[in-house]
């Protein structure tokens, strides 16, 4: 199992978390399976940026993003060189440290 450290987020994960992830699973699915309700407005189809995360450690262990993901990330709030769409970032064997940005461009969250 791979360990994902989730840095504290004021709403979704105030105390942070340490999660176990099965390699081959997306970061988004790992978060959701552990009751961290990250937004995923497009239902994980790589059509929005609401599941944007910043991979603070272990970024280079992830398979490179494709052109579609890169184009979408250009629209994400708080974009960094370590930004990924969590629905497209597949966990491998390397442990990760992930930050969920404070804001998304989705101004109409349904459940918050």
Q: Which residue has the tokens 């890169």?
A: 70
Residue 52's DSSP bridge partners are: 85
φ and ψ at 57, to 5 degrees?
-140, 140
What domains sit in the chain, N to C, each tagged with a CATH number?
A: 2-99 (3.10.20.30)
Each residue's pLDDT tens digit, 43-93: 999 999 999 999 999 999 999 999 999 999 999 989 999 999 999 999 999
Reported pTM? 0.91
User: What is the model's pLDDT at position 107?
Assistant: 47
Q: Which two tokens stand for residue 57?
A: 């450690």
Rounded CA gap, 6 and 107, in Å?
23
- Which tens digits make up the pLDDT trace of 1-53? 999 999 999 999 999 999 999 999 999 999 999 999 999 999 999 999 999 99
Whole-angstrom Cα distance, residue 93 to residue 19?
14
């Amino acid at each position: 199992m791979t360990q994902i450290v989730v840095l504290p987020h004021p709403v979704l994960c105030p105390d942070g978390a340490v999660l176990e992830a099965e390699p081959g699973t997306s970061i988004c699915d790992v978060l959701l399976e552990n009751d961290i309700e990250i937004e995923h407005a497009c239902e994980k189809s790589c059509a929005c940026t609401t599941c944007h995360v910043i991979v603070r450690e272990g970024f280079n262990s992830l398979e490179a993003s494709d052109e579609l993901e890169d184009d979408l990330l250009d629209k994400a709030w708080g974009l960094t060189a370590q930004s990924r769409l969590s629905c497209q970032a597949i966990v491998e064997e390397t442990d990760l440290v992930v930050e969920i940005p404070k804001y998304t461009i989705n101004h109409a969250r349904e459940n918050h």
